[in-house]
Amino acid sequence: MNSQVPVGLAAAAEASAGWQNILLQPQAEGVYLLTVNRPKVLNALNADTLAELDQALDLVAKTPAIRVLLVTGSGEKAFVAGADIAHMRQLSALEGKFFAEQGMAVFRKLENLRVPVIALVNGYALGGGCELAMSCDFILAAENARFGQPEVNLGVTPGFGGSQRLTRLVGRGMAMELLTTGRMMNAAEALQRGLANHVYPQAELLGEGIRLAEQIATKSRSAVQLTKQLVQRGQDLDLDNACVMESDVFGLSFSTPDREEGMAAFLEGRKPEFS
């Protein structure tokens, strides 16, 4: 990992110094790693951790030097094993609703970041952990990864978007099976079902994530960000309106310096140098 903080990120490093449960660290030029760092409780999410995640996402959003964000959990057992049950057990019905709203808001903020976000699932991604992974743009999984929404075993429903994002990713029937049985899906099945994009040995997961993120970071920033917006906004539109939106954004992309450079480089047979 690059131990030097790139220009423009000194403020982010200073702001993150007081966090207890989150790490935000550079990995390569334009690539940062956000780590849920509560290994003693398998990186379980409580209100304080969600609040720090929220602050970290605000930093990422306003830091142009970050072009791709990787998200993972510390240790070798868990990405995020779920929401903190010890924390949740003490909540009243109204407090439970507020906790769900907090998690929903943070994960939606993650989903709506302009930059691509890649989850590196290095172990258990259950309940809130699976919901966190699904809020990223796509998932790379270690061979020991396990996905699931086991909330029915606790007598509750998913609270951070699991019933909605899982259905969109794996289909209604499979989502219903997972949500109502609480069973875990291994990495191979996650790959087969389209939940994960790739599966790697655990020791190679971070390196493969950085490699892919670096590849994205070399592309036109404006084209990548506009493409993400098209995918995010178009998936809930009917095809006709989604295609109209794509035509509009395609035209907009012609106003960028990156379009000039990209097409010139292609015609001149050289590698583009995007701004």
Out of 151, 189, 208, 260, which one is annotated catalytic? 151
Burial of 92 (0-12, 13-18, 19+ CB in 10 A): exposed
Distance, in Å, from the CA atom of 239 to the CA atom of 125, rounded to the nearest integer, reads 33
Q: Are strands 117-121 and 31-36 parallel, antiparallel or unpaired?
A: unpaired
Asked if 189 is an active-site residue, the reply is no
Please check whether residue 43 is in contact with residue 122, taking contact to mean a CB–CB distance below 8 angstroms.
no
Q: How many CA atoms lie within 13 A of 271 on its CB side?
A: 3
Selecting among 52, 95, 101, 131, the annotated active-site residue is 131
131 is catalytic: yes
> CA 171, 106, 241: angle at the middle one, nearest 5?
50
Please answer whether residues 62 and 9 qualify as being in contact, where contact means their C-beta atoms are separated by less than 8 angstroms.
Answer: no
Calpha distance 38→73 (Å, rounded): 8
Which sequence positions are flagged as catalytic?
Answer: 131, 151
